[in-house]
Amino acid sequence: MGFGGISIWQLAIILLIVILLFGTKRLKGIGSDLGEAIKGFRKSVNTEEDKPPVQNKPGETLDVEPQKKKQDSQSGD
């Protein structure tokens, strides 16, 4: 038995069908794109750890209330 009840021969047949459907060039392109995506993800995760922690500094806040628009009591000319 192989992985989860799938034998080596069944995996080989599935691989052969995938190669016939997509071709080796497309599979190579998909593999390289996937590899670049994983590298980018790892790089972004590692750069997050390298950044210094954010310091919470108290800042000034403004208390602002929206102003109501004045409506003209006269309409037209």
pTM comes to 0.42
Task: Look at residue 60 in the predicted model and tell me its pLDDT.
Answer: 72
DSSP secondary-structure letter at 19? H
Do the domain assignments include residue 35?
yes
Do the domain assignments include residue 13?
no
Q: What is the pLDDT along the chain (77 residues), one digit of tens a residue?
A: 556 788 889 999 999 999 899 898 898 998 899 999 999 998 888 776 556 666 666 777 767 777 777 765 555 55
How far is the C-alpha of 72 from the C-alpha of 57, rounded, in Å? 45
Residues 6+ apart with CB under 8 A from 30: 22
Domain of 44 in residue numbering reads as 23-49
Task: Look at residue 63 in the predicted model and tell me its pLDDT.
Answer: 73
Domain count, the chain: 1
Task: Look at residue 64 in the predicted model and tell me its pLDDT.
Answer: 75
Do the domain assignments include residue 77?
no
Do the domain assignments include residue 42?
yes
Do the domain assignments include residue 2?
no
Do the domain assignments include residue 60?
no
How far is the C-alpha of 23 from the C-alpha of 16, rounded, in Å? 10
Token pair 């593999």 in the structure block, residue? 31
